[in-house]
Structure 1
Amino acid sequence: MIRLDSLKRTPLYDIHKKYGAKMIDFAGFEMPVQYESILKEHEAVRKNAGLFDVSHMGEIIVEGKDSEKFINYMVTNDITKITENQAMYSPMCYHNGTTVDDLLVYKFSYEKYMLVVNASNIDKDYKWLWENKNGFDVEIKDESGEISELALQGPKSQEILEKITNYDLDSLKYYHFDYMDLDGINCLVSRSGYTGEDGFEIFLKNEYVANMWEKILSVGENLGIKPAGLGARDTLRFEAGLPLYGNELSDDITPLEAGLGSFVKLDKSFIGKEALLNQKEEGLKRKIVGFEMADNAIPRHGYDVYAEGEKIGYVTTGYLSPTLKKNIGMALIKSQFATIGNEINIIIRNKPYKAFVTSKNFYKKNYKK
């Protein structure tokens, strides 16, 4: 077991302690899992706004005349389709088609991009990029330690941010970004997030993040903003059917199995294409599905899933949904059992509990297009 005092900390560690956060080990970082309660923080984001410290996420800069060509070869989505100041979501695969990571590609120009990667995968992603850069004229820099990131999420997030900037936020469309002055600080702001709600992700230098955190909470106080931890971040993304690396994606799960086929462009060249093409042609042997409990029990990550007397997979994420007030989950199961409406059994404390396969989109996303 890793001792908390041996973990990395974001520049907001002292702020989290000041706000009474319960801290946990997440991806080698000591991070806030909750402040007041996961439920109240979750509800604040759905109804008003929540502010998250996501400074543990990684930022890798790729520069050089082959940047677009190189990144397009590394990821499954087609980044030639985005313009400057636009971001794109994409998995990144190994040669066998399983997932190195899922990330966001930020395009500054054809010769400069930023990859925002999961905290647990920073070193692995950086190494994978370097191992595959031969033949491409690019420079790769890991700037994760120099950049902090805040996520302001919820239906009132624009109203709150407008209190500290003169930038026309109505003009900033979903998955686009720009530099803007926030309370006198030059920040990179993206209209994006991981909660199913409208919101913004704010990148800035470490030395300014504590003041920015306090300022946003201060101006948003009358609008119901709350500091939110990783617990609410997980329940929010899960309700919106968004995958989490280590749960719905991993080095054992392909993007096709995870239901991310729309982000896999098989008409271009990329690492893992041949394996994914074969998997698609042969038919998926297993899939990530949503499910809802019929019996009164809460599913958890790792629980076995059975059907017709055989083990068919396992739960990747499970919760009592704060918004829907239902026990729901996602599971990786054999494809022949993945039809919506099929009955499955979740094994909880050695006892089977009945559930039914559903769509993974439990909650309708409220992004501003």
Structure 2
Amino acid sequence: MTAQTTPPEDTAAPRRTALDALHRSLGATMTDFAGWDMPLRYASERDEHLAVRARAGLFDLSHMGEITLTGPRAADLLDYALVGNISAVAVGRARYTMICAADGGILDDLIVYRLGESEFMVVANASNSQVVLDALTERAAGFDAEVRDDRENYALLAIQGPESAGILKGLTDADLDGLKYYAGLPGTVAGVPALIARTGYTGEDGFELFVAPSDAVALWQALVGAGAGVGLVPCGLSCRDTLRLEAGMPLYGHELTSRTTPFDAGLGRVVKFEKTTNEGRFVGREALAEAAAKAQSAPPRKLVGLIAAGRRVPRAGFAVVDASTGAVIGEVTSGAPSPTLGKPIAIAYVDAGYAAAPAGADAEASPAGPTPGVAVDIRGTHEPYDVVALPFYKRER
């Protein structure tokens, strides 16, 4: 008989960003997120959320993972390793893409910045950065390219909201008016060298600033000072989640997992089967071709938005049911109160027959009353929900 032993607990202390002391001085509520001690909120997450929608918010996103690829065949490597056609991205532009396993399952969703003809920066989610680094390193075999772990060399600050461009203009000589969405350029902000990218995860206009960790505090303080007159506030990860939820943006571990393909998530557009490099080969191609055909013919489930008819909040993992029979027809992947809509919302995978929403339906034009037959099982009670098309919120341009 073999003795049973209890595995030792992981006692590693969470990592701290270069802004950790500043967050604590501001009274932030800190939380362990993907092995990092990060600010969850500073005061009211609702107030932080609404500030980003109406004015501007400042985030510390230094937990994200930066990986640099250089060399004559860096573009070819990325075309092979990722699902996107990265070699077609122009210098100074960025591309949302994914890295998949051979079976088509999503390992992570990424943003790739092309910094030069043979230099790229891949930004991975904090929880998956090591997985992405390992996969890129493994897939680099046979390519004249170098994969470099740059996670320790960057701090990442994000300023998001309609006032963000105005705030940033006062601190930089960079041509922000000429900087398109999903583009980035090197420059200085408040005298600090930075990669200035017009990207974000809130549904608002905004910028992400990649800087040396030693410059992070000075840059944060400069942005706070420049934004004081227009209502800029520091924001935590909690409101970032409700902002992305309203904007219908997927979150890895919720809408995206290693068990789902881009086609399952309604994001098949990021998969580019036609590539001019590597004879069109890329990791997961065969499995993704099958997933694409399946999604076109008879998708088993679709990703939809749900808006509550009542006040009870759904959470990830709650069952979506046919209200008349109680049969489970889906599952909530993300849910929260929506500060912008003033009612609970959720994203869910539901059986395709329940996914149809009126043409053009959204949060502002949802059908009157609950969609027939759709409810969420919230602790034994079937709460009625409207099915709507994503996103719940889209900013005016």
Among 275, 279, 293, the residue aligned to 2:291:
279
Write the deviation string for residues 134-180 of structure 1: whole angstroms up to 9, x where unpaired. Answer: 22111101111111000000000011111211222111111111111
C-alpha change, 1:243 and 1:366, in structure 2 (3 Å) is farther
In structure 2, the residue matched to 1:97 is 104
| Within-5 A mapping of 1:146-161 | 146-161=153-168
Q: Give the secondary-structure state (helix, strand or coil) at the position aligned to 1:170.
A: coil
1:231, distance to aligned residue in structure 2 (A): 0.5
Q: Secondary structure at the match of 2:391?
A: coil
User: CA shift at 1:267, angstroms?
Assistant: 2.6
The more displaced of 25-34 and 70-79 is: 70-79
Please give the residue correspondences for 1:1-369 in structure 2 after superposition, counting only pairs within 5 Å.
6-268=13-275, 269-282=281-294, 283-307=298-322, 308-340=325-357, 341=371, 343-366=373-396
Which range is displaced more, 71-80 or 60-69? 71-80
CA distance in 2 between counterparts of 1:192 and 1:225 reads 18
Secondary structure in 2 matching 1:233: helix
Q: Please provide the CA RMSD for this pair.
A: 1.7
Distance change (3 Å), C-alpha of 1:124 and 1:199: same
Letter matched to residue 358 of structure 1: V
Equivalent AA in structure 1 for residue 334 of structure 2: T
Secondary structure at 1:242 match in 2: coil
Q: Secondary structure at the match of 2:43?
A: coil
- Give the TM-score normalised by structure 2: 0.89
Measured in 1, the distance between the counterparts of 2:309 and 2:213 equals: 47
Alpha carbons 1:54, 1:150 under 8 Å: kept: yes
Q: Does the CA-based 8 Å contact 1:343-1:357 persist in structure 2? A: no
Spell out, residue by residue over 1:45-84, the C-alpha distance to the aligned partner (whole angstroms, 9 max, x if none). Answer: 0011000000000000011111111101122222233210
Question: Which secondary structure does the structure 2 equivalent of 1:6 belong to?
Answer: coil
Task: Name the SS of the counterpart of 2:47 in structure 1.
Answer: helix
Residues 295 and 183 of structure 1, relative CA distance in 2, 3 Å threshold: closer
Contact 1:4 1:24 in 2 (8 A): no
CA separation in 2, counterparts of 1:366 and 1:213?
27
Contact 2:156 2:209 in 1 (8 A): yes
Q: Is the 8 A contact 1:342 1:357 kept in 2?
A: no
Unaligned 5+ runs, structure 1: none
1:118 CA displacement? 0.3
Q: How far, CA to CA, are the matches of 2:218 and 2:72 in structure 1? A: 37
Q: What's the CA shift for 1:18?
A: 0.6
Aligned length: 367
The structure-2 alpha-carbon separation of the partners of 1:281 and 1:100, relative to structure 1 and needing over 3 Å to count, comes to same
Separation in 1, partners of 2:117, 2:81 = 15
CA 1:120–1:366: 2 relative to 1, 3 Å: farther
**2:170 partner SS:** helix
Q: CA deviation at 1:4?
A: 9.3
- Three-state SS of the structure 2 residue aligned to 1:287 is strand
CA distance in 1, matches of 2:220, 2:144: 38
Structure 2 segments unaligned to the other structure (5+ residues): 1-7, 276-280, 358-370
SS at match of 1:116: strand
- In structure 2, do the counterparts of structure 1 residues 32 and 356 end up closer, same or farther at CA, with 3 Å as the change threshold? same
Distance (Å, rounded) in 2 between the aligned partners of 1:60 and 1:355: 41
Q: Is the 8 A contact 2:261 2:291 kept in 1?
A: no
Q: Supply the distance in 2 between the matched residues of 1:300 and 1:31 (Cα, whole angstroms).
A: 22
Distance 1:37 1:259 in 2: 33
- Looking at structure 2, the residues matched to 361 and 333 of structure 1 have their Cα atoms a distance apart, in angstroms, of 16
Q: C-alpha distance in 2, partners of 1:130/1:334?
A: 38
* SS of match in other structure, 1:166: coil
Match of 1:214, SS? helix
Q: CA deviation at 1:295?
A: 3.2
Look up the equivalent residue of 1:275 and give its one-letter code: A
Can you list the C-alpha shifts for 1:269-302, whole angstroms capped at 9, x where unaligned? 3212211211221232222211112233111111
The answer to whether the Cα contact below 8 Å between 2:185 and 2:197 also exists between their aligned partners in 1 is yes
TM-score normalized with structure 1 length = 0.96
Letter in 2 for 1:362: F
Structure possessing the higher radius of gyration over alpha carbons: 2
1:339 CA displacement? 1.6
Identity percentage over the alignment? Answer: 40
Contact 1:22/1:34 (CA < 8 Å) preserved in 2?
yes
